[in-house]
Amino acid sequence: MVHVHAADLRAALQAAATACYLNPLHSWTGDDHRRKRPAARFVVLRSAIPSRRPFSASIEPSTTAIVGGGGALSWVEKGKKPEICTADELHYVPVPGTDWKIALWRYLPSNEAPKRNHPLMLLSGVGTNAIGFDLSPGASFARHMSKQGFDTWIVEVRGAGLSIRAHESNETIQSSDKPSISNLDSTDEVKLTGDESQLVTKLTSTFMNLAERLSGYLNEGQLKAISEKFLEQISKLLEDAGLAERFNEIAAKISSLLEARQNSSVAGQLRELSQRLINTIEEGQKSVSPQLFDLQERLSSTIEDFQKQLDLIVTYDWDFDNYLEEDLPAAMEYIREHSMVKDSKLLTIGHSMGGILLYALLSRCASQGSKCGLAAIVTLAASVDYTTSKSSLKLLLPLADPAQALNVPVVPLGALMTAAYPLSSRPPYVLSWVTSQVSAQDMMLPELYEKLVLNNFCTIPAKVILQLTSAFREGGLRNRTGNFSYKDNLHKCDVPVLALAGDQDLICPPEAVYETVKLIPELKVSYKVFGKPDGPHYAHYDLVGGRLATNEVYPCIINFLCCHDELTCELSD
């Protein structure tokens, strides 16, 4: 049995996070489809061919409908959905107060199925996208539910799958895959030439980002810690050159200016100190041995690497509460409006973090005495309290240190899973333990498992993981400030809940699922564990896409949803 050590995992994450910068927001293995992006407020892309198409089929040109703020339709140039999107429609929904447009994959109900009263919303796990719910024509949870008559919507939260930032455009994406906060304002730029001048500009830009542009992302303690780390890296470069004493004098002044942050005189002083630092290095190199002639080059590389880390902190600046308070309400309101449900309620299914979001929504609404707008909830492998379980996610607990969140701003799960796949699926199976985290033995066809691993996983902000790790501490999952536990009000739940677990789920074991189930009133919750002592077994993903799920899990879910699909006269909030 292979044992994974937390220190090894952290080292791997730091290395992968740096590599992730080269393609930070792209969640798919092949990203060409992201080159064409709609920029309207609401965007609906409709497929012109039948829904029963193979995953690899080319999508024919279809008409793009732009839904304006008043609800009127205006027809624009013909386009097509990305080939990776196998839904009937692809919707883009702006999240109020942010620059995000989250993607909603819609699967229209079959005309041959019974008519349902409520639309069905699907929420996937942390660091995953819609592919997990629609892996192939023969293994598509979303398509299966639409054939049962449910108007089915998969929500891709910010940073996942096809969700985009509002300011992204074709030109921006084509010109550069990397977000940047490193450019100085044009009014502040000084026309400089030569390597030395370029270094001054780079260094000044980095310090300006620390002093001004990161003020909205880092608190005072975090800013101090990350700036000290950067200055320490430069100091190490200068030790052998005998420049440490002169550098320390300059560094002390820089630190003082960084603490002043947005003082109007900061920019000019930082540029002057950057120039002094580069001059010091230039003078020092003239009197040292030849092996230090590359000092400027190494300094330039250090600045660039540090700038990439800052870019990641800014680009991935959201947590679990952003999903709960911003993305989820925007998606729910949009689905209600476009499905035209009479009582404004939704049926919902959440896998892993998707289920955690639903529990958190129930708890928050219960604490406020408000209705959550849900007719019924199904959670798959989800809990808000992992304290009594042996979940493998405990390996991520070291990242709960806020300082680690600065060192590793993101966890590039997609890149890590792609890199691990050859070592987990081929002899000598060095990383075979990775496979068991996803699926139990013989529960997925090899080609479907490969498609899942290479297409379903995304990059996760450290802030999200930082908050989710509170589920492993006493009191369970908490909000970002730590003053509200998402388990405390579940005893007030008035929405029917079906909680399902897999017997060999290493990420969210049955005992973890039950820790949340037991908090809900007995008359409102049903609990079932899939898997048998002698097999077959169910791991974390098998409840959604295992080879037996269609015959064993899906009927259980459909029966539950049908029992709670009646219309009510109750007004939703």
Q: What is the DSSP string of 129-168?
A: -GGGG-SBTTB-HHHHHHHTT--EEEEE-TTSTT-EETT-
Cβ distance 146 to 106 under 8 Å? no
Contact (CB, 8 A) for 262 and 211: yes
Q: In the chain, pLDDT over 90 holds for what percent of residues?
A: 47
**Over the chain, what is the mean pLDDT?**
77
3-state secondary structure 338-378: HHCCCCCCEEEEEECHHHHHHHHHHHHHHHHCCCCCEEEEE
- pTM score of the predicted model: 0.77
Instruction: For residue 171, count other CB atoms closer than 10 A to its CB.
Output: 8
Question: For 256-280, b where at least 16 C-beta lie within 10 A, e where not — what string?
Answer: ebbeeeeeeebbebbbebbbbbbeb
Q: 155 in a domain, yes or no?
A: no
Asked, for residue 436, whether it belongs to a domain, the answer is no
At 407, the pLDDT band (50, 70, 90 cuts) reads low
* pLDDT of 560 over the 50 cut: yes
**Can you give the residue range of the structural domain that contains 286?**
196-316
- Overall average pLDDT of the 419-439 stretch: 86
- Residues 6 or more apart whose CB falls under 8 angstroms from that of 323 comprise 157, 158, 353, 357, 464
What confidence tens digit (pLDDT) does each residue in 295-325 have? Answer: 667 777 777 777 777 777 778 889 999 999 9
Q: What is the pLDDT of residue 42?
A: 47
In the block, which residue shows the tokens 């639903």?
A: 358
220 touches 260 (CB < 8 A): no
Residue 292 forms part of a structural domain:
yes
The dihedral region occupied by 261, where left means phi > 0, alpha psi between -120 and 50, and beta the remainder, is: left
The pLDDT tens digits for 12-23 are 545 555 454 444
- Give the span between the Cα atoms of 478 and 246, in whole angstroms: 47
How would residue 559 be classed by pLDDT, with cut points 50, 70 and 90?
very high
* Residue 369 CB partners (closer than 8 Å, separation 6+): none
Lowest mean pLDDT among 132-146, 269-283, 404-418, 430-444: 269-283
Q: What does the pLDDT read at residue 22? A: 44
Query: Which residues is 544 bridged to in the sheet?
Result: none
Q: Which two tokens stand for residue 116?
A: 């349902």
Is 207 within the bounds of a domain?
A: yes
Burial annotation 133-162 (CB, 10 A radius, 16+ → b, else e) = bbbbeebbbbbbbbbbbbbbbbbbbbbbbb
Q: SS3 of 573, please?
A: coil
pLDDT at 60: 30
Query: 52-70, pLDDT tens digit by residue?
Result: 322 222 223 233 333 333 3
- Give the confidence band of 79 by pLDDT, cuts at 50, 70, 90: very low
Region of 165 on the Ramachandran plot (φ > 0 left; ψ -120 to 50 alpha; else beta): beta
H/E segment holding residue 275: helix 266-285
Count the Cβ atoms, other than its own, within 10 Å of residue 509. 24
Residue 269 in domain: yes
Counting the structural domains of the chain, the total is 1
Torsion angles phi and psi, residue 380, rounded to 5: -115, 115
Residue 461 maps to a domain: no
Q: Of the segments 16-30, 194-208, 211-225, which one has the largest average pLDDT value?
A: 194-208
Rounded to the nearest 5 degrees, what angle is found at the Cα of 96, between the Cα atoms of 482 and 468? 25
CA distance 218 to 131: 34
* Spatial separation of the C-alpha atoms in residues 156 and 151, rounded to whole Å: 17
Q: Is the dihedral of CA 164, 170, 173, 176 positive or negative?
A: negative
| Residue at 304 is within a domain | yes
- pLDDT-derived band at 142 (thresholds 50, 70, 90) equals very high
481-496 pLDDT per residue, tens:
999 999 999 999 999 9
68 lies in some domain? no
